[in-house]
């Protein structure tokens, strides 16, 4: 049996509340939309929704990958896509109080283009409905196919995000065999090369057994790929079937890594904390990177 540490007090979740949270939830229901924020029971839902940020998952809820940290269902959707999804997603642009929307998706290795054209159609539908809405795509790796990345960044997109997830030595243990460390870095580098003005973002989970040297190397690799914004959070085991937590980092350690990322590696912004997730307060990160402030 793997050793399991008791969860520390600073990882307790706060219940979402407030008028803006209730209003966004009500309007989402009226439009038949559900967010990853709710489905994943994200601890930051209240804070993000109150700031006008939400995350929608597109292309279904069955992933063709089987990463050992993720609780999303694994299987083969056999090419299924909802042709009406771009129009459905565009309804979220009508929600008052929403100013930043993250679109994320499962991996769709069953599709010829891995879902890139459908993804881009959802982005464009949002922007056609409301040009001022900031849109981030938190994407899969599209098996590293550059043409798919070009399809995404050619859409009217504000932020291109793809998560590296962990350090190189742990990649094979943590992620599906089709997800490679070098491939994820190349995806991010290609997005920046294809559209130099776009903001790029990535995320790492800590507490899986990584060393300080390895974390610093991951920072260096992400900066070499042109990544502007970094988020760092504590890995939490979704179920007993998933990888156990090797260590719970102290909040002060996350403060340290934020300082290292911004001071030593010149990330435009780093959000770092036990409960930080990749879409955490995305709008603020975007604005900070654009303004060039820390």
Q: How does pLDDT run across 154-205, given as a tens digit for each residue?
A: 999 999 999 999 999 999 999 988 999 999 999 999 999 999 999 999 999 9
pLDDT at 54: 75
pLDDT at 82: 92
Could you tell me the residue ranges of all domains in the chain?
15-291
Tokens of 123: 């982005």
282 contacts 138 by C-beta, under 8 angstroms: no
pTM of the entire structure? Answer: 0.86
Residues of the chain with pLDDT under 50: 1-2, 15-16, 34, 37-41, 44-46, 49-50, 291-294
How far apart, in whole angstroms, are the C-alpha atoms of residue 182 and residue 150? 18
Q: Alpha helix (H) ranges present in 7-145?
A: 19-30, 36-39, 45-50, 85-90, 116-129
Per-residue pLDDT of 76-109, as tens digits, reads 999 999 999 999 889 877 765 778 888 989 999 9
pLDDT at 40: 45
Beta-strand relationship, 199-206 and 229-234: parallel
**What DSSP line would sit under 116-163, residue for residue?**
HHHHHHHHHHHHHH-TTSEEEEE---GGG-HHHHHHHHHSS-SEEE--
**C-alpha radius of gyration, the chain, whole number:** 18
pLDDT at 41: 47
Residue 285: what are its φ and ψ, rounded to 5°? Answer: -65, -40
How far apart, in whole angstroms, are the C-alpha atoms of residue 228 and residue 13? 29
Q: Is 208 helix (H, G, I), strand (E, B) or coil?
A: coil
Tokens of 29: 């229901």
pLDDT at 39: 42
CATH number assigned to the domain with residue range 15-291, chosen from the 4 options 3.30.2350.10, 3.40.30.10, 3.40.50.970, 3.20.20.70: 3.20.20.70
């Amino acid at each position: 049996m793997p050793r399991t540490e008791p969860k520390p007090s600073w990882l307790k979740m706060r219940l979402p509340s407030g008028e803006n949270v209730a209003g966004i939830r009500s309007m989402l229901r009226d439009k038949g939309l559900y967010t990853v924020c709710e489905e994943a029971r994200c601890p930051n839902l209240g804070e993000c929704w109150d700031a006008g940020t939400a995350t929608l998952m597109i292309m279904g809820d069955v992933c063709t990958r089987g990463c050992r940290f993720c609780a999303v269902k694994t299987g083969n959707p056999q090419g299924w896509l909802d042709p009406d999804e771009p129009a459905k997603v565009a309804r979220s642009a009508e929600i008052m109080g929403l100013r930043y929307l993250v679109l994320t998706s499962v991996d769709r290795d069953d599709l010829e283009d891995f879902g890139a054209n459908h993804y881009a159609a959802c982005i464009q539908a949002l922007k056609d409905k409301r040009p001022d809405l900031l849109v981030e795509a938190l994407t899969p790796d599209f098996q590293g196919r550059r043409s798919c990345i070009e399809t995404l960044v050619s859409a009217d997109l504000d932020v291109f995000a793809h998560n590296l997830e962990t350090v190189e030595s742990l990649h094979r243990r943590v992620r599906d065999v089709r997800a490679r460390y070098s491939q994820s870095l190349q995806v991010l580098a290609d997005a920046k090369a294809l559209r130099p003005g776009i903001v790029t973002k990535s995320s790492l989970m800590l507490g899986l057994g990584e060393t300080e040297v390895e974390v610093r190397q991951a920072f260096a690799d992400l900066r070499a790929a042109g990544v502007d914004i970094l988020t760092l959070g504590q890995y939490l085991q979704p179920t007993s079937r998933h990888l156990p937590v090797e260590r719970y980092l102290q909040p002060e350690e996350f403060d340290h890594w934020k300082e290292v990322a911004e001071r030593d590696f010149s990330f435009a912004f780093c959000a770092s904390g036990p409960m930080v997730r990749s879409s955490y307060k995305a709008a603020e990160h975007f604005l900070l990177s654009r303004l060039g402030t820390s």
